[in-house]
Amino acid sequence: MQLTKKGHACVRLTRGGRTLVIDPGGFSEADAATGAEALLVTHEHPDHFDEGRLRAALDADPATRLWTVRGVAERLSAAYPGRVHEVGEGDTFRAAGFDVEVHGQLHAVIHPDIPRVANVGFALDDGAVFHPGDALTDPGRPVRTLLLPVHAPWNRFAEIVDYVRQLAPARALAVHDGLLSDAGHAVYGRNLGPQGPGLGGASYARLAPGEATTA
């Protein structure tokens, strides 16, 4: 499959002419959801969920479907009956030719005074790609490409290093990096690379928005 970074936490996966997009939120590129057959949204925060972009994609193609948590599904299901699917931990489904497993329940703690929302991660094709959303969820299965949330109000550098070591993927690709400056990207790239403490054998890379790789 081809994996294209679409800014911040959004990725676009294409294989055999079919396209699945995860988390086309407000920080992603404007065309992130355009032309997608399947849309997956991990949780309701606006950097992952942009209602206008989802509606535009659903309006453009009656074959487009959305899988997401209840908080997002409730805002769209009435307008798109039969096309918006609420999912939770343990669910499995097939979307745009990809086999998808759902893992996780809650967003990571930002602060005890901020309510936690539902958050799920999506593992595609037997762990070929895993997007955890905004939580350091262990899917309990081998992962080859981990989409690693490198920078957020809820995480620390030590936690993401230990998370990569725990999951032991072949590689980690940066997501959730839209709040970083160029200097910040350089610091994370150095510390997650060979000069850093080490990721237990996993490689680390960051795709710029619009850049693609094979997964």
pLDDT tens, residue by residue, 48-66:
999 999 999 999 999 999 9
Q: 105: domain range?
A: 2-204
Residue 51 lies in a domain: yes
Residue 138 lies in a domain: yes
C-alpha span between 179 and 201 (Å, rounded): 27
Terminal C-alpha separation, the chain: 5
Residue 98 lies in a domain: yes
Residue 209 lies in a domain: no
Q: How far is CA 122 from the centre of its chain?
A: 7
C-alpha span between 135 and 129 (Å, rounded): 16
Residue 213 lies in a domain: no
Any idea what the CATH number is for the domain that residue 98 is in?
Answer: 3.60.15.10
Question: Residues 32, 7: contact at Cβ < 8 Å?
Answer: yes
Q: How many domains does the chain have?
A: 1
Residue 130 lies in a domain: yes
Average pLDDT over residues 178-197: 96
Per-residue pLDDT band for 114 (boundaries 50, 70, 90) equals: very high
pLDDT of residue 187: 97
Question: Which parts of 3-69 fold into alpha helices (H)?
Answer: 51-60
Residue 214 lies in a domain: no
- Beta strands across the sheet bearing 129-131: 92-95, 98-103, 121-124, 129-131, 145-149, 171-175, 203-205
Supply the mean pLDDT for the chain.
97
pLDDT of residue 8: 98
With H, G, I as helix, E, B as strand and everything else as coil, classify residue 72. helix
Express each pLDDT in 24-52 by its tens digit: 999 999 999 999 999 999 999 999 999 99
DSSP category for residue 59:
H
Q: Where are the beta strands (DSSP E) in 11-69?
A: 11-15, 18-22, 38-41, 65-68
C-alpha span between 165 and 9 (Å, rounded): 21
Residue 107 lies in a domain: yes
